Chain A
Amino acid sequence: MTESATNDIRAAARRLLADGTVSVVIGYGDAGPNRTVPIFARTAAQADRLVVSHSALNNLTVYLTRALRPVGGRIAIVAKGCDVRALVMLMSESQIAREDVYVIGVACAGVTTSMGQPMSAETVAAKCRDCIVRTPPLYDELVGVQCEPPATSDVLDRRIAEIEAMSAHERFDYWAAELELCTRCYACRQVCPLCYCTQCIVDRSVPQWIETSASPRANLSWNLTRAFHLAGRCVGCNECERACPAGIPLSLLNRQLAATALREFGYVPGIDPAAPALVGSYDLADREEYIR
């Protein structure tokens, strides 16, 4: 992701705004060295603030179902491969119509773990190691040149192997200790493009299905419920982990969910918009009898 990609994004955004293809371009705005912030560009001047870099961390597709749901009309969005996977899920779950989004895909060379970091083998995000979508699976136009991010260690896989090697009790204790730190700020939910429920179960107070206290028991209920709701859906952008103030390693849960969907159902979420969603479909060949 280079200067030329940034120029391409700006040119595309100016053109799309000028010819009326879209009313707004959601992209990454320059926010200083190794930093970007989400911006909504509606004018040529705003389009010239757009950048693409290894600091394009946010999964901007979250805005398609939040802030911009009421906007209507076609919206352009700058999206890396992992972001496009979320968009594909939103399409296969009938949340977004393909024709309502103009995708400026970014051929991605990886992003860093957090803002403010230059790109290196130490700072590259763990999810980039075995990314399968360096070129997004869907786009209207593509900018950037695909290349490999710096080689990184298989830290996530090793951690998951350690956790899988634990006894069920040890594993429960491990997660109970991690989740005890949760403050219930719901940053994980708010940054998640696939947490689009208009009313989250934790906000349903009559009855209160999940306690709102940040107590160990209630934190388990909340975090495990959210993980189950994302099973077979999470595309592993790991924005939840980046947003978490308590440092809970949510990427481990995300990766395990994806591994399970692949192992049990041969399903990879967010690659094929025409493929039926795993949790929204059934198969007569399913090995569980109850579904037949």
Chain B
Amino acid sequence: MNEYRITQESLQAFVAALVADGLTVLAEAADGSGYARLAADDRVAIDPSRAPSRLSMKEHFFPKSEALFEYRREDGGFVLVDRLPEVRPTVILGARPCDAASIGILSKVFNWDYRDEFFNRRVDATIVIGMLCAYRDEHCFCTSVGGAPDSIAGSDLFLVPLNDGALGMRVVSDDGERFVTAYAHLFEWGAPGDPLQVDEALTLPSVRFDAEKVRGWIEGHFDDPYWSAASETCLGCARCAFACPVCHCFDIVDEDRTYGSGERMRNWDACQFGMFTKHASGHNPRAARAQRYRQRISHKFAYYPSRFGEVLCTGCGRCTRGCPVGIDIGAIAVEIGGMAS
């Protein structure tokens, strides 16, 4: 495996060079809010032990709100104007494995029965530099859903902390190889030194549940009273869904900007909202809180896995850390797994 050695100085020079070349560089912001854009002279800190930001990086590929096209009334009809996004070449620096993995999971949906150009263009224009994750808390469960703190899935290049404080950058995709060549003069080439031998950094979090068993239970228990019990304290906001790196539901609405013209918008939506499934007739097939919560868990651990062969969850734990009432999706999967055995 090709590998470079990066010191703090060469990392700063790398980011400055990327910005100077007109690339957008995104990294988890120091304030913990989410992935934010770096300026050329921002101090760049790669900290594999830092807690995950509140929001994931999915907004970069799937914005919380975007115009799909414009419309305007003309001669008794409507004229439609395409609005494909202006996509800038982008580097995501220090993506956690549980975030990098989201790209593949989202891509399956956004290319399932229709190729979503908005999403695909952004993915195609992005180089993901992943980072070995040394953060652990009771809400992490990547290893229960097919991931790992050292997984390269979704990354083009991958950073590993070295025991002398520098970073090793491994080339893990052809895109990564092509991309990094232009900047290779900034780094040292070849054996970069020993990877950090810190138990905490390299010990895998224990597997908490068997996702296949969870799927099996869900498929046979659509009307189980468990759903009411599990969702009793849920207040029905979308903090979990919007923080989630792989929740991808959206609403499409027309918004007039002036009389007779406007934009068709695609906005994040969430199955926890009462409006999500409300029909024009007024009927709501998921009128109750428990039905909506069942949908959230079933989609992640049964419906998506049945269709696409993996779980709709990377185990990042953002939903649980952020939930204002402390609902713990990992604990729920463990509970369901327990009921299955």
Known: A203-B275, A213-B265. A245 touches B232 (CB 8 A): no
Cα distance, A38 to B323, chains bound together (Å): 11
Contacts of A181 in B (CB 8 A): 33
Please indicate the chain A residues that have their CB under 8 angstroms from the CB of B322 in the complex: 245
**Per-residue 0/1 for A150-188: is the Cβ within 8 Å of any B Cβ (1 yes, 0 no)?**
000000000000000000000000000000010111110
Q: Which residues of B contact A208 (CB under 8 A)?
A: 253, 255
- State the CA gap A181–B324 with chains docked (Å): 19
Whether B31 lies near A183 (C-beta < 8 A) is: no
**How many Å lie between the Cα of A39 and that of B55 in the bound state?**
27
Q: Which stretch, A29-37, A94-102, A125-133, A275-283, touches the partner chain B?
A: A29-37
- 7 additional A-B pairs beyond A31-B326, A67-B289, A213-B265, beta carbons within 8 Å, are A35-B326, A62-B235, A184-B64, A186-B238, A191-B324, A245-B239, A246-B55
8 Å CB contacts to A: which residues of B29-57? 31, 33, 54-55
Alpha-carbon gap, A119 to B233, bound state (A)? 25
A62 to B324, CA, bound (A): 12
By the criterion CB–CB under 8 Å, are A185 and B237 in contact?
yes
CB of B177 to closest CB in A, whole Å: 36
CB-CB nearest 7 A-B residue pairs: A37-B326, A190-B237, A187-B237, A243-B324, A185-B238, A190-B235, A214-B64
For the complex formed, measure the closest distance between the CB of B322 and the CB atoms of chain A, giving whole angstroms.
6
Q: Known contacts A183-B242, A247-B54; is A242 also within 8 Å of B235 by CB?
A: no
- Looking at chain A's contact residues, the main secondary structure is loop
B237 near A115: Cβ-Cβ < 8 Å:
no
Measured CA separation A58–B232 after assembly (Å): 15
Distance between A291 CB and nearest chain B CB, rounded to angstroms: 35
B183 to chain A, nearest CB (A): 31
Are A191 and B235 closer than 8 Å at their CB atoms?
yes
Report if A215 contacts B (CB, 8 A): yes
B173 adjacent to chain A (CB < 8 Å): no
Q: B239, A213: Cβ atoms under 8 Å?
A: no
Stretch in contact with the other chain, from B72-80, B149-157, B266-274, B299-307: B266-274
Query: Which chain A residues in 196-243 approach chain B with CB under 8 Å?
Result: 203, 205, 208, 211-215, 218, 239, 242-243
Given contacts A187-B237, A187-B239, whether A40 and B232 have CB atoms under 8 Å apart is: yes
A189 at the interface (CB under 8 A from B): yes
22 A–B contact pairs at CB < 8 A?
A35-B326, A37-B325, A37-B327, A67-B232, A67-B235, A115-B326, A184-B267, A184-B268, A185-B237, A185-B241, A187-B237, A190-B236, A191-B325, A212-B251, A212-B253, A214-B268, A215-B65, A218-B65, A239-B324, A242-B324, A245-B239, A245-B322
Instruction: Verify if A66 is at the interface (C-beta below 8 Å from B).
Output: yes
Chain A contacts for B232, CB-based, 8 A: 40, 67
Report yes or no: B239 in contact with A185, Cβ–Cβ below 8 A.
yes
Report the bound CA distance from A208 to B242 in whole Å: 22
Assembly CA distance A38 to B325 (angstroms): 6
Tell me, in angstroms, the Cα distance from A242 to B54 when the chains sit together.
12
Minimum Cβ distance to chain B for residue A30 (Å): 11
Which B residues lie within 8 Å of A185 (CB)? Answer: 237-239, 241-242, 270
Q: From residue B165, how far is it (CB to closest CB) to chain A in Å?
A: 29
B237 to A38, Cβ gap below 8 A?
A: no
Q: What distance in Å separates the Cβ of B27 from its nearest Cβ neighbour in chain A?
A: 17
Let me know if A213 and B253 touch, CB within 8 A: yes
Give 1 or 0 for each of B217-260: 1 = CB within 8 Å of chain A CB.
Answer: 00000000000000011011111011100000001010100000
Residue pair A245, B65 in contact (C-beta under 8 Å): no
With a cutoff of 8 Å between Cβ atoms, the chain B residues found around residue A184 in the complex are 64, 238, 267-268
Residues A245 and B235 in contact, CB atoms below 8 Å apart? no
**What's the minimum C-beta distance from B138 to chain A, rounded to whole angstroms?**
7
Residues of B close to A246: CB separation below 8 A: 33, 54-55
